A and B are shown apart, each in its own frame.
Chain A
Amino acid sequence: MSRRLDDTVQLLAPVLLVVATAIVGSFTSRATEIYFLTAVLSVAIVVAIYVFVGNSGVLSFGQISFVAVGAFAAGVMTIPLESKTGVLPDLYPLLRDHTIGNFSSLVLAAVVGGLFAFLVAVPLMRLSGLAAGIATFAVLEITHNLLREWTKIGPGATTLALVPETTDLFQAAIGTVVVIVIAFAYQRSRFGRSLRATREDPAAARAVGIDVHRQRLWAFTLSGTLAGLAGGLYVHMLGSITADQVYLELTFITLAMLVIGGVSSLWGAVVGALAVSGLDSFLSEAEQGVGVGFTIDLPQGARLVILGTLMAAVLVLRPSGITGGREFSLPRRRRSAPAAAPAPEGGAQ
């Protein structure tokens, strides 16, 4: 009974937090709303990264690649037909002559992200540690290079514009909740538990018959699918996107969110994403307000300095993040009835 309550709380807490953020955002002005929208979507991206990095313990710098392909797939396919031939003349005819609706474009983004992740994962999931870090970084570089230069599949070095701005707070919240629920269901499933076992002790996990490569493959693919979906939502929020917007800086910020929140729990991913984007929004407001001679178009300076310091400080002082890498639990209940709740229960997840 208490176990089931624990489970429910663990899922409900992050979902409610996201929904609450969306509801608060819907009461604010149009200018402030964008911050809440960004916060909700960064939860989706960070949770997608968490599905692989958190559960497997293998570092990946490459998950933003799947956000990128999802965003570009959804973006390219939803530009209205009448303007498409004008803005993207070099596209393959299949892409140029068809346009799909909002919902189908999100499904397409998820599928493309998942497929790409699967293709990448088949060779890459044999690696771990340092090699995995470098190899996934290579994936990010390749994706960025192709999106920037290959004008047959996208806008190339120019901006992909005229994408319908269909992602409002309602859609973003629904999408993000879907991502959280899938991530939660995955980590409680047999696959998720097997993968978490390989994270704790690869040798022992292999000894009980877990195929480490296959478990990582599934997680990477699922993570890519969710990242693709998040990318689809992202492009429909922005309305226009360049390859540079889904590259190093986004990788850095989303990794910072995950690390600051706590890599090894879903709660950590959600809290980290919301906390850092809250701080981020505050800092960019402050930068606008103070406006100390930032005349050129790179006003993010101070913001990124503070985020970088915070990320490095959390890594050095508290590597398990602000949530300690634990799922959400109701603290009062446990303290009031210590005899009823044996310790191993709490420590299991």
Chain B
Amino acid sequence: MIAAIDAQTIVDALGLGAVYALMAVGIGLVFGVLRLVNFAYGQIVMAGAYTLAFTSQADWPTWAGIGTCFLVCVVLSALMDRLVFRPLRTQSPAVMLVTTFAVAFLLQNVALLIDVRDGTIGEPAASVASLNRAVTVWGVEIRKVSIVAVVVAIVALGLLALLLTRTRIGLQMRAAATDFGTARLLGVRANTVIGVAVLLSALLAGAVAVILTVQNPLVTPDFALKDTIIVLVGVVVGGIDRLWTAMLGGFAIGFVTGVINGALPTDKTVFLPSVVFLLVILVLVIRPEGLFARGRTSLVERL
């Protein structure tokens, strides 16, 4: 039970927490302006990962593959926004959640159809795998990608914070997230704000796709599905209402699962999902506004 929680485990857990924090912010950004929980976010990541796999099989240079990966994420997000989210803006959160659930399933099965053309499930992405090698820092073996993940997360989230606090569009996005109706009355353009939020969340998905593909170079149709579920849980538990709390929730759940999975032998962790989801239910029932949220009434209403 008290197996080694060594430095390596901690660093890997930090890396996982960083990736989940990025995903949490990606989900939280769209939620802020649309009040929509995008269950299909993981499938955007999955599409990006497939792009990396196919471009690497076609012997594209790594930078081109990564660029295309970002492009695919952006295009797919824009399509999703235009075809699905926009017609649904007036619907209840529950209807939107079911719809994104349907979109997630749809995209996953489209990926399966494309993937099985060669008779096997899963496409390897070799070009980015070199990042997965270990380096030794102060006598500790650290996978490069864990460092990359933490750095990317800090840089991306720092830039995002600057954008949100220092620019005009950032101010408008924050205003829209607080009260969309009033923000529109004051001259905030709904489509612009939503478009920027979707774009930013797509860029984050691209970054996540690259990092996750490095960690796990075999891309399958359910790539990032499990991660999305865990992140969604983290986001709701942390408090989906604000980006900070959503990000903290995502990071915390990534870090904790990372540490537990690294420290405990696998036969001790079979019931871990049950414990995690039980905690989720507890938090939702006791503190529906989220663990890290303070004082504000939540839109996650309770009877």
Contacts and interface: CB of A to CB of B under 8 A. Distances in A.
A126 B110 contact: no
Contacts of A57: 94
Interface stretch (A72-80, A252-260, A340-348): A252-260
A129 B93 contact: yes
Interface stretch (A85-93, A136-144, A173-181, A274-282): A136-144
B97 A142 contact: no
Nearest to B277: A138
Given A130-B300, A298-B121, A309-B106, A59 B98 contact: yes
Contact of A135 (B93, B95, B280, B303): B280
Task: Name which of B103, B109, B240 has the most chain A CB atoms within 10 A of its CB.
Answer: B109
Contact of A123 (B112, B236, B285): B285
Contacts of B303: 125-128, 212-213
B273 interface: yes
B84 A130 contact: no
Contacts of B301: 128-129, 131
B297 interface: no
B91 interface: yes
Contacts of A135: 280-281, 284-285
Given A142-B273, A259-B98, A129 B87 contact: no
B271 interface: yes
B214 interface: no
A316 B88 contact: yes
A110 B97 CA distance: 29
Nearest to B110: A305
A140 to B, nearest CB: 9
A296 B98 contact: no
Given A123-B281, A304-B105, A294 B94 contact: no
Nearest to B273: A145
Given A128-B303, A145-B271, A134 B95 contact: no
A131 B109 contact: no
Contacts of B278: 138, 142
Nearest to A300: B109
A309 B113 CA distance: 14
A286 B14 CA distance: 48
Contacts of B277: 138-139, 141-142, 145
Given A127-B285, A130-B37, A134-B232, A315 B300 contact: no
Interface string A278-302: 0000000000000001111010111
A20 B270 CA distance: 46
7 closest residue pairs by CB, A with B: A308-B106, A59-B94, A138-B277, A304-B109, A311-B102, A131-B300, A149-B270
Given A131-B288, A312-B103, 15 more contacts: A57-B94, A59-B98, A126-B285, A127-B302, A128-B303, A129-B94, A129-B301, A131-B300, A133-B97, A138-B284, A255-B101, A302-B113, A312-B84, A315-B102, A319-B91
Interface of A: 57-59, 61, 123-135, 137-139, 141-142, 145-146, 149-150, 212-213, 252, 255-256, 259, 293-296, 298, 300-302, 304-305, 308-309, 311-312, 315-317, 319
Interface of B: 37, 83-84, 87-88, 91-95, 97-99, 101-103, 105-106, 109-110, 112-113, 116-117, 119-121, 229, 232-233, 236, 240, 270-271, 273-274, 277-278, 280-281, 284-285, 288, 299-303
19 contacts: A127-B303, A130-B94, A130-B97, A130-B236, A131-B236, A131-B284, A135-B284, A135-B285, A137-B229, A141-B229, A142-B278, A213-B303, A256-B102, A301-B116, A305-B106, A305-B109, A312-B102, A312-B103, A315-B98
